Chains A and B, each alone.
Chain A
Amino acid sequence: MGKTVRGQWHREILSSPSLSLSPMGGWQRNKGWSHSVTFTRMERNPLQRQVAYMRRSLFDQGYLDEQFVQLEDLQDDANPNFVEEIVTLFYTDSARLIHNIEQALESRPLDFIRLDDYMHQFKGSSSSIGAKKVKNECTQFREHCSARSAEGCVRTFQQVKQEHTILRRKLETYFQLARQAGLAN
């Protein structure tokens, strides 16, 4: 079987939506080929591959942890947009908490107990959606509360907000891409 014949077959598979491949694909990277061809049953088109890659990197780079997978496992026909709904709810909730914390950080002297309380809630929500980096920054903040360090609280709060925003952007992109990939199927 020459390269040309393989190439044709490859194109055929890509354009045939009803075909499903076995997990191992059975293809090999060849010097003359431009992309890797390890398909899984789920990844039928380039968009879906992109979605899977993005998802993988969110975990690898520590933005998300196992709890996010738990949410994904709950998504089904009865709850088709569950993950996105939960994430949206998280960002609505946390916007309120961020506002409360900002206000509390402006009062002098700082009410560390109240700040710790808010951050405890924030940390709880973050961990329930698997927002790993956000959760870790929350922990840092609470340590500064315990140490009654105003400077530490103000500084780490900036980090909390930063991670919070970064994750939101990444998840927005991810969900958008996933929707496009789903439509393209």
Chain B
Amino acid sequence: MASLGYWDGFPMISALVCMATHWTGPMCYLRQEIQEEKMGFGKATSSSKAMKIIDTEKKISVLIVEDDPLIQKIHKVMMAKFGTEVQVVANGKEVVDLYRSGASFDLILMDFEMPIMDGFEATKELRSMGVTSMIVGVTSRSQDSEIQAFMKSGLNACYVKPLNAEKVTAVLNELKNN
């Protein structure tokens, strides 16, 4: 091989090596595996690889309608943790305006007590506009009668604050099943 003249040297030898691996099935596979392992080195990459598979599915879009900044922050981080895409507005009028301007969400988490337009009015309005998004009430009112009254506005479900992982899982499962 060393006496091939002009084409002697690295390029030729590497070409030969490539040919050898190409023709030698198992060796070629092993090389590819090593390459992949090198690229996938580190925990972060392998988990982001896993995330990528999930990401090719469309993310669930969630709108949090809540006036209390503390609850806004908690619910926002909670929903983001479940892999949803989250937006936040501070009262019922804002969600109605959003829908009127053509926006739409897979899931609306609707607080009950809010200034300007409360959760009951906002839900009623959205339903009368023909909105079919899943609307889940989130209220600090825990009395049965109060929850039933809120449900009458057209909610799909209603939960007592605060939200926790269990409630969010239930809501997202409900959403996926519909």
Contacts and interface: CB of A to CB of B under 8 A. Distances in A.
Interface in A18-69: 66-67
A95 interface: no
Given A67-B162, A70-B162, A120-B140, A128 B77 contact: no
Given A70-B162, A70-B164, A74-B81, A89 B140 contact: no
Contacts of A71: 74
Majority secondary structure, A binding face: helix
A127 B161 contact: yes
A67 B164 contact: yes
Interface residues on B, range: 10 to 19
A128 B71 CA distance: 7
B100 interface: no
Contact of A86 (B74, B80, B164): B74
A82 B68 CA distance: 17
B39 interface: no
Given A74-B81, A82-B77, A124 B69 contact: no
Interface in B134-178: 140, 161-162, 164-165
B14 to A, nearest CB: 41
B165 A128 contact: no
Interface string B67-99: 011110110011011000000000000000000
A107 interface: no
B168 to A, nearest CB: 10
A8 interface: no
Interface in A89-121: 89-90, 93, 120-121
B162 A127 contact: yes
Interface of B: 68-71, 73-74, 77-78, 80-81, 140, 161-162, 164-165
20 contacts: A66-B164, A67-B164, A70-B78, A74-B74, A74-B78, A74-B81, A76-B81, A78-B80, A86-B70, A86-B74, A93-B68, A93-B70, A120-B140, A121-B68, A123-B140, A124-B71, A124-B161, A125-B68, A127-B161, A128-B71
